[in-house]
Structures are given as C-alpha cells and as structure tokens.
Amino acid sequence: MRVRKLEKKRGWAFTVAASILKPTLIAATSRTWIDGEKIPATGGCIVVVNHISHVDPLLSAHFVFDHGRLPRYLAKSGLFRNRYLGGFLGSAGQIPVERLTAGAVGAYDAAVAAIEAGECVVVYPEGTLTRDPDLWPMRGKSGAARLALATGAPVIPVGQWGAQRLLPPYSVRPDLFPRKHITMKAADPVPLADLLAVEATPAVVQQATDRIMAAIVAVVEELRGEKAPVERFDPSAAGVNVIGNPNKRARRKDQQ
C-alpha cells in the first residue's frame, strides 16, 4: 500500500494524536488496507464504516489518515465536557453530538458545514456498536443518508474486520498478544444520484440508508468470506437497549 500525502496541514491536535496513536496501533496490529485510494483525495466526502469495537475510531482514523485525509467524527458530547479532552477534540475538528436530544440537530448542521467546507466526515451508520450476535452490520440509522442528500457529497463505504479481536465489543481490556490483524477495504461511492434529484422525503432517506448499509455489508461479506443474514438485526424490533451493555445477552464472534 502506498501512503497518500495529506491534502492539508494537520494542525497540532492531529500531530499529537498521530505521533502517539499511530505508533501504538502499528505495534499492536498488523494491517491490510485495501482500495483506500477510493476515498477522494480532496473535497467533502462521507466515509461510512461498520462498527464492531470501541477501538474502531482509532483504526478507521489510521486508514483514512494513511490515504491522505484528516478524519472528522461525530463524537459523544460527554467527551467534550472534560476540559483537556474536550479542548483536544475541538482542536482536532471533532463534532460533539448530544444523543437523543434536540442538540443532535446542531451536530447535523456542523457535519453538513464540515462536508461543504471540503472535510472528510466519518460516520458509523448503525449509530452504535452492532448488537447482531455474529457482529454483522445492523439496520442503519438515517444520519449518513441525510448528510449525503443534503450535501451531494460522495459516500464511500468501508468494511472492516479484526478489531473485535483486539478489543471485543464492550470490553475494557484490549487483547494485545499475539498481535491482531486488521483488514479494512473501501469500495466505490454508493450510487445516490437518482435520489439527489428528488425531494428528500422519509421514503427517499430510507432508500438511501438501505443502499449505504447494503454497500457496507457487501464489503464485510467479502472480508469475512461469508454471507450476511438476509434480514439485518434491528435493535428496536428485538427490544434491545442500544445504550446499555448487551454482553450477557449476545453470542458474539469476538475471537474469530
């Protein structure tokens, strides 16, 4: 893999993060990056990724960073309440999200503004770690689709596998030995041109969401060498609390 030169100066926060986190990830993992050049080198874009571990943001940032972009995330607002961490995240251009409150609208507006300013925004369309017992992507939420329809920016699906071995879902202790292998693969932009030409009704937003999730699932199937369930896991229909820890209820492929 040839690392692409960054498209813009990274600033002090990214410099500090890269100098600390990247060597740590390199020491803790081996990596296969596939087709990362499909992430646009410049201009606003939305990178959508399946979510299987709390370490995902670090790994996807590594992937995006290695392909020349500075990733911006929608991060839980609670992280910004710490004086030092909040200052660091803000300096790195991350966007606070007030989950399940009217404040989420502000995060959406900030994400739209970032994309329109030419930034690369990384989104986990499932909204949280997957609750699927076998770690397949769940039913998606509408955030990524609404951003795409509002901005017209390309949506780049990325599938990943291996992070669950490094830090199993809802675990607090990473499993560092032996070194874990992480695979991430980008695919072609999700085809949304026909939906951009019509009003973004709830039905249109759902179509866009379904296409985004189908594109992510296709990449994950390729990486895992398996077929995903026909019906994606729906936490609401299953009565699963997406805020809590489902460890005691789920059979997971943590160590595969």
Sorted by where each begins, the domain ranges of the chain are 30-238
Is residue 185 within 8 A of residue 156, CB to CB? The reply is: no
Note the pLDDT of residue 230. 95
Q: Name the nearest CA neighbour of 17 among 118, 75, 85, 79.
A: 85
Note the pLDDT of residue 75. 67
Neighbours of 240 (CB within 10 A): 16
In tens, the pLDDT along 232-241 reads 999 988 777 7
Neighbours of 247 (CB within 10 A): 12
Note the pLDDT of residue 18. 76
When the pLDDT of each residue in the chain is averaged and rounded to a whole number, the result is 86
Note the pLDDT of residue 80. 55
The verdict on whether omega for the bond into residue 178 sits within 30 degrees of 0, i.e. cis, is yes
DSSP string over 94-124: -EEE-TTSTTHHHHHHHHHHHHHTT-EEEE-
In tens, the pLDDT along 149-180 reads 999 999 999 999 999 999 999 898 999 999 99
Note the pLDDT of residue 78. 65
In tens, the pLDDT along 175-234 reads 999 999 999 999 999 999 999 999 999 999 999 999 999 999 999 999 999 999 999 999
Note the pLDDT of residue 238. 78
Q: Provide the residue count of the chain.
A: 256
Note the pLDDT of residue 154. 98
Q: Which two tokens stand for residue 58?
A: 């670090």
Note the pLDDT of residue 248. 44
Is residue 232 within 8 A of residue 138, CB to CB? The reply is: yes
Asked if the model's pLDDT at residue 34 lies above 60, the reply is: yes
Note the pLDDT of residue 141. 95
In tens, the pLDDT along 119-155 reads 999 999 998 999 999 999 999 999 999 999 999 999 9
Asked if the model's pLDDT at residue 88 lies above 80, the reply is: no
Could you tell me the fold of the domain covering 30-238? Glycerol-3-phosphate (1)-acyltransferase (3.40.1130)
Phi, psi of 68 (to 5 degrees): 90, 10
H/E segment holding residue 157 = strand 155-161
Note the pLDDT of residue 250. 41
Is residue 74 within 8 A of residue 123, CB to CB? The reply is: yes
Q: Name the nearest CA neighbour of 30 among 139, 214, 179, 246.
A: 179
